[in-house]
Structure 1
Amino acid sequence: MRYEGNIFRPPSEARSYILQCTIGCTHNRCTFCAMYKDKKFSIRPLEDIKTDIAMARRYYGDVEKVFLADGDAIAMETDDLLEIIKELYKAFPSLNHVGIYASPDVVLKKEMSELTALKEAGLTIAYLGVETGDPELLKDIRKGVTYDQMVEAGRRLRQAGILLSVTILLGLAGRTPRAREHAVNTAKICNDINPDYIGALTLMLVPKTELYRRAQRGEFVLPEPFEILEELRIIIENLNVQETEFRSNHASNYLPIKGRLPDDKEKMVATINSIIGTHDSKYLRPDYLRGL
C-alpha cells in the first residue's frame, strides 16, 4: 500500500487496513507529540484514495476493519469522507468497523448533521486525544482547546452515535505537586464526556518535541514508575463513568490494567494498590519493552 512517512494508529486498530486519507496533523503543536513533525498537513486527492482502496481489495481481499489515517482525516470535507466510506463498504463486503482520529478543534468545526451523516454512512469509532483535564496543563501542552471545548467535542461525537475512545496521558504534569491535579481533573473530564472507551498511555519523552527540550534543560522531570501508578490509581478512583471500557495496555505503560466501569473499579484499584504496596519493579514492564 502507498503511505507517506510513518503511519500511526491506535492499539485497537492493529488488525485494520490503514488507509491514508490525509498527511500529518492540522494542529501539530502539542509539546509532547512527535508523530507528525516531519510532515506538513495536506489532504490526499480523492481519486488517489479510491485507487488505494481498489489496490487494497486486490491485495487483501475482504477486510473487516479499516482505519483512516493520518492524524486528522476527519478534517477532510465531509462529502469526501462520505464518499470514501461508501467506497470502502462497497469494496469490502465484510467491513463492520471504520475508525478515525478526531482532533477536538476539527470536530467542533463540523455541524452535528455532518457528524450524524458520517455515523449513518458507517464511521463506527473516533479516537479523541484528551491527554489531561487540567485546564492549565491543557494550555501548557498547547493542545489548542479548552476544557469545555474538549468536553463539547467528545459529547458531539457521542451524540452523533459514533463510538468514542479517549486517550489520557499519565506523567504529563511531570514530577511536581501538580501531578495530582492532573490526575483528578483528567478523571473529571472523562466523567463529563462519558466515553465508550478510555485508553491510558504513559508519557515518553521523544526527541524533536518541546517537552523533550524542556527536560534537557532541566525544566521537566519524568515521574518515577510508581509515581505513575499513583496517578493511575487516582484517576480510576475518581472515575464515575457508566458503561465504559478502561485500558492501560498500551506499550508505553508500566502496568496493564483493564476493566469495565463502574463494575470493575474496585478490582482495578485493588490491583494497583497491591503492586504499589510491593514497590517491586519486577511487577512492572521494563523500560526496554516500553514503546510508543
Structure 2
Amino acid sequence: MFQYDRPLYRPPSEAQSLIFQVTLGCSHNTCTFCSMYRSKDFRVRPWAELEADLREGAEAYPHIKRIFLADGDAMVLSYDRLVRVLTTIRTLWPHGPRVSVYARSEGVLSKSDKELAHLRDLGLALLYIGLESGDDQVLEDIKKGETVADIIRACDRAQAAGMAVSVMAIVGLAGKAGSRRHALETARALSRIRAQYIGLLTLMVEPDTPLADQVRAGDFEPLSPEEAVREMRILMEALDSPGSYFSSTHPSNYFVLSGRLNEAKADLLEELDFLLAHPDQLYGSHYRRL
C-alpha cells in the first residue's frame, strides 16, 4: 500500500476514511500553538504520485464510503487541481464516496460561488475549519493569519454551496487572562456560523512551539483542568446554534460531551456542572493527545 509522509493527522470523525495526501504540510504553518506540520515544508504533491495513490487505493478499497484529503489545508489547491482530484475520485469510485478536507478561509474564499458549488457536486461534502477563537485579538496573538470575519464568510459561502462545515475551537487558547472573553466571543462566532458540526478541543502546550516559549517566559498562563471546564461552561451557556451537533470527543479534552443543539444544551450544562463539582472525574493529562 502507498506510504504516507508522516506525521499524518485527520479529524477523529474520519477514523474510517481512506486518506490521501494531496498536499504535504500546512500552507500557513505559523500558528504559535501548533506543532502538527513544523517538520514539513509545504508543497503540493505531484500529480503522478497522487494519481498512483488514488488508483492503488481504489483497487484495495473499492467500496470505501469516505475519503479525507490531507494534509493541513487541501482547499488551498487551485480550483482546477481540486476538480481534477475529485473527478478522478468519482471515476475510480463511481458510487461517490463523501470527500472531506481541512480548510482555511483563504482557500474557500479564493473560489467563486459557482466553483464551490461545482466542487460540492463532484463530491466535496465536508470542510473542517479551524475557528480556534471568536476573539480577533486572540487570532492575532496566535498568528492565525485570518480574522473572525474571514472565517465566518468562508463558512457562509461553503454552506451556501451545499457543503457541510465542522468548525473547531480551542478551549484555553487565550490563557487565564483572556479566558472569559475568549469563551463569549467564540460562542458569538459559533452562533453566527451555525455549523452542522461544532468540535471543541482543549489547548495542549506542545514543546518547540512559540507558545511553549511564552509559557516558559511567564507571558502565557495555561488553564488548569477545572478552569478549562469553567471556560467551556461559559461558552456553552452563551452558545445559540440550533441544529448543530456539538462534540468534545477530541483526545485533547479532559472529558467527552456530545449532543444536538439546542435540545441538548441543558443536559450539557448539567454535565459540565457535575464535572466542576467532581474534578476527579476529569481525564488525567497522560490520557490527552493531539
Q: TM-score, normalised to structure 2's length? A: 0.96
- After TM superposition, give the deviation of residue 135 of structure 1 in Å: 1.4
Runs of 4+ in 1 over 6 A off after TM superposition: none
Matched, 1:36 2:34: no
Q: Deviations over 1:124-143 (max 9, x none)?
A: 10000000001111110111
- After TM superposition, give the deviation of residue 94 of structure 1 in Å: 4.2
In the alignment, is the contact (CA less than 8 A) between 1:257 and 1:268 conserved in 2? yes
- After TM superposition, give the deviation of residue 96 of structure 1 in Å: 2.9
What is the aligned partner in structure 2 of residue 62 from structure 1? 63
Matching of residues 248-263 of structure 1 within 5 Å: 248-263=248-263
Alpha-carbon separation, structure 2, partners of 1:150 and 1:253: 23
Alpha-carbon separation, structure 2, partners of 1:257 and 1:67: 24
Matching of residues 15-54 of structure 1 within 5 Å: 15-54=16-55
What is the aligned partner in structure 1 of residue 163 from structure 2? 162
What is the aligned partner in structure 2 of residue 234 from structure 1? 234
- After TM superposition, give the deviation of residue 5 of structure 1 in Å: 2.6
- After TM superposition, give the deviation of residue 285 of structure 1 in Å: 1.2
SS of the residue 1:127 aligns to: strand
State the percentage of identical aligned residues: 37
Q: TM-score, normalised to structure 1's length? A: 0.96
In the alignment, is the contact (CA less than 8 A) between 2:172 and 2:228 conserved in 1? yes
Alpha-carbon separation, structure 2, partners of 1:270 and 1:186: 20
Q: Which amino acid aligns with 2:156?
A: R
SS of the residue 2:124 aligns to: coil
Q: Which amino acid aligns with 2:283?
A: R
Q: Which amino acid aligns with 1:221?
A: E
In the alignment, is the contact (CA less than 8 A) between 1:64 and 1:92 conserved in 2? no
What is the aligned partner in structure 1 of residue 285 from structure 2? 287
- After TM superposition, give the deviation of residue 95 of structure 1 in Å: 4.1
In the alignment, is the contact (CA less than 8 A) between 2:76 and 2:106 conserved in 1? no
What is the aligned partner in structure 2 of residue 111 from structure 1? 112
RMSD of the alignment, in Å? 1.2
Alpha-carbon separation, structure 2, partners of 1:34 and 1:56: 29
Alpha-carbon separation, structure 1, partners of 2:94 and 2:119: 18
Deviates more, 1:250-259 or 1:53-62: 53-62
In the alignment, is the contact (CA less than 8 A) between 1:105 and 1:144 conserved in 2? no
Alpha-carbon separation, structure 2, partners of 1:121 and 1:93: 11
What is the aligned partner in structure 1 of residue 264 from structure 2? 264
What is the aligned partner in structure 1 of residue 76 from structure 2? 75
Flag structure 1 segments of 5+ consecutive residues without an equivalent. none
Deviates more, 1:202-211 or 1:106-115: 106-115
Matched, 1:2 2:15: no
Alpha-carbon separation, structure 2, partners of 1:167 and 1:218: 27
In the alignment, is the contact (CA less than 8 A) between 1:62 and 1:93 conserved in 2? no
Alpha-carbon separation, structure 2, partners of 1:209 and 1:15: 30
